[in-house]
Structure 1
Amino acid sequence: MIKREIELLVLSDIHLGTYGCHAKELLQYLKSIQPKSIVLNGDIIDVWQFSKRYWPSEHMMVIKHLIGLIAKGTPIYYIPGNHDEMMRKFKGTQLGSLRIVNKLSLNLHGERTWMFHGDAFDVVMQHSKWLAKLGAVGYDTLILINRFMNFFSEKMGRGKLSLSKRIKNSVKSAVAFINKFESTVCEIAAENNYQYVICGHIHEPALKHVVTDKGTVCYLNSGDWIENLTALEYNDAQWKIYRYYEDEVAQSVELEHRSKNKESNKALFNSLLAEMKITV
């Protein structure tokens, strides 16, 4: 299979370790591309809801695939989010081609680009973390219910539904929060002479130009791998939103079937450790 080359890939809000994570689809996507560099923009592993009782092999295989890219020398920047905030303790750490940073500033073809997760601009996160964690549990439960509904909906030929999207789009405060989030980060980016600002956190993929008092900024959001299954791809000085459900090539990638896969999670973990030794 000829892999599609990508100059820079941005992924965020994968939430490995939760029922809502589409690890299988993400793995199909990763196996269909050849990125020259990657930015993991937060909430990659959901430490808030992590449980040893739920860690499917596909989730471990995503980690293993990323570690394999590090072993090959692919530059990967890890920007922790609020769900994997424990990684912020390791800011400045470098293991092989992996670097852990709290934010990232890049010059891409003469355009200044600012990347960060975005939870710093979330008032709930700043003042009521317990409420945010409670909301995360409720969100994951809603996604799980949504999966059951979609199973029967597709069987009946009605297609997929998104409960959380409908709720977000129908609640004025949720829409207002997203708009405020976007305008705030763009204003700060413009004040610091950035032409592009890239976030995650709000699970809302976007690519738009926002006019501020200090100038126009291109705002991008990589979305998530819970509902939208999206990423950001940069090629030939152009950004685009990648959507898994529009990618027939990635959807056709065959993964090793569980029944044929003799590697248990423990074996995959040992393999992961072996590859990490190469990068240190």
Structure 2
Amino acid sequence: MPDWFHEQEPRSFQPKQKYRTVWISDVHLGTSGCNAELLLDFLHSIQCDTLYLVGDIVDGWRLRKGWYWPSSHNEVLRRILKMAHKGTRVVYVPGNHDEMFRDYVGLGFGGVELAHEAIHETADGRLLLVTHGDMFDSVVLYAKWLAFLGDTAYTFLLKANVWLNAVRRRLHLPYWSLSSYLKMRVKNAVSFIGKYEEAVARAALDRGVDGVVCGHIHHAEIRDIDGVTYYNDGDWVESCTALVEDKFGQMSIVDWAEHNRQRQQAAKREKALA
């Protein structure tokens, strides 16, 4: 193991939240929009039997245009590898931004399994298809040049997020996503999300499973669509969310940005009362 693997991790003063399964996607390591510090905080705060990395963990599209890799991005990878080393099953389902890893499906590295997709059985016996979801995005499939154009505009919004939140930190304000706020107020974007969710659910129905877990569109959601449960675990550039399963098979979305806001507000109240 490299020397950094054995470096001491920060000590937590709160017990870790235990889950049966955790799904995260769309981290986009290698971009300035990645909220690596919030993700690290989340990963240090949990224990789980299985961790699914549901695509776009590393952003190969952006890295090909220019190298950006701060130490916090190394720390995310180190934390995931440590979880695998300590007994967590880690399954990596590559997405379109990290499609270079699809050539290595079936192999493993550092205890991390690579797979095109996975079938997950919940504690209560339901079968869930786990896939990144880009194959259901007609723009990515049939007009890749348009996807790259959209990626450029989206990257500008994410950079604006970084600048905005740098100012908010100076003002001791919590994280807030400008890009997420604007996306959910654009009619075409909302319409696309709805159609995408329905397409994914139809595919899951055809596969004979009870539900589907995906990422790709950066919009965390749990909803029933024609008897199929659609789960989207969100992302770590806008909403900073994860999907989790408890020991009974109950599924929920963890909004870590909101958790962080509440934690900061509680700390302020305690400080004011001290």
Q: What TM-score, normalized by structure 1, do the two folds share?
A: 0.82
Q: What's the secondary structure of 2:189's corresponding residue?
A: helix
CA contact (8 A) 1:244 1:250 kept: no
**How far apart in 2 are the matches of 1:169 and 1:30?**
27
Q: CA 1:56 to 1:130, structure 2 compared with 1: closer, same or farther past 3 Å?
A: same
CA contact (8 A) 2:81 2:111 kept: no
CA distances 1:3-36 after superposition (whole Å, capped 9, x unpaired) = 1111101000000010100001111111111111
Q: Which amino acid aligns with 2:242?
A: A
Residue 181 of structure 1 corresponds to 196
CA distances 1:225-259 after superposition (whole Å, capped 9, x unpaired) = 0010000010021000011123359968xxxxxxx
Percent identity of paired positions between Structure 1 and Structure 2: 37
- State which of 135, 147, 158 in structure 1 corresponds to 2:162: 147
- Compute the displacement of 1:224 (Å): 0.3
**How far apart in 1 are the matches of 2:191 and 2:230?**
17
Residue 38 of structure 1 corresponds to 51
Residue 170 of structure 1 corresponds to 185
**How far apart in 1 are the matches of 2:224 and 2:231?**
9
Residue 112 of structure 1 corresponds to 127
In structure 1, stretches of 5+ residues that fail to align are 253-280
CA contact (8 A) 2:180 2:239 kept: no
In structure 2, stretches of 5+ residues that fail to align are 1-11, 265-274
The two structures, once aligned, show a CA RMSD in angstroms of: 2.3
- Aligned length, in residue pairs: 248
Q: CA 1:243 to 1:177, structure 2 compared with 1: closer, same or farther past 3 Å?
A: same
- State which of 79, 82, 100 in structure 2 corresponds to 1:86: 100
2:72 matches 1:58: yes
- Report 1:1-280 matches (<5 A): 1=12, 2-50=15-63, 53-95=67-109, 97-108=111-122, 109-152=124-167, 162-211=177-226, 216-235=227-246, 236-248=248-260
CA distances 1:142-178 after superposition (whole Å, capped 9, x unpaired) = 1111332344456668876543234322322211111
Q: What's the secondary structure of 2:192's corresponding residue?
A: helix
CA contact (8 A) 1:39 1:76 kept: yes
**How far apart in 1 are the matches of 2:79 and 2:172?**
34
- Compute the displacement of 1:186 (Å): 0.8
**How far apart in 1 are the matches of 2:260 and 2:155?**
27
Q: What's the secondary structure of 1:126's corresponding residue?
A: helix
**How far apart in 2 are the matches of 1:14 and 1:251?**
22
Q: Which has the higher contact order (CA 8 A, sep 6+)?
A: 1
**How far apart in 1 are the matches of 2:47 and 2:171?**
37
Q: What's the secondary structure of 1:48's corresponding residue?
A: helix
CA distances 1:166-196 after superposition (whole Å, capped 9, x unpaired) = 4322322211111111111111212222111
- Compute the displacement of 1:134 (Å): 2.6
Q: What TM-score, normalized by structure 2, do the two folds share?
A: 0.83
Residue 265 of structure 1 corresponds to none
Q: CA 1:170 to 1:97, structure 2 compared with 1: closer, same or farther past 3 Å?
A: same
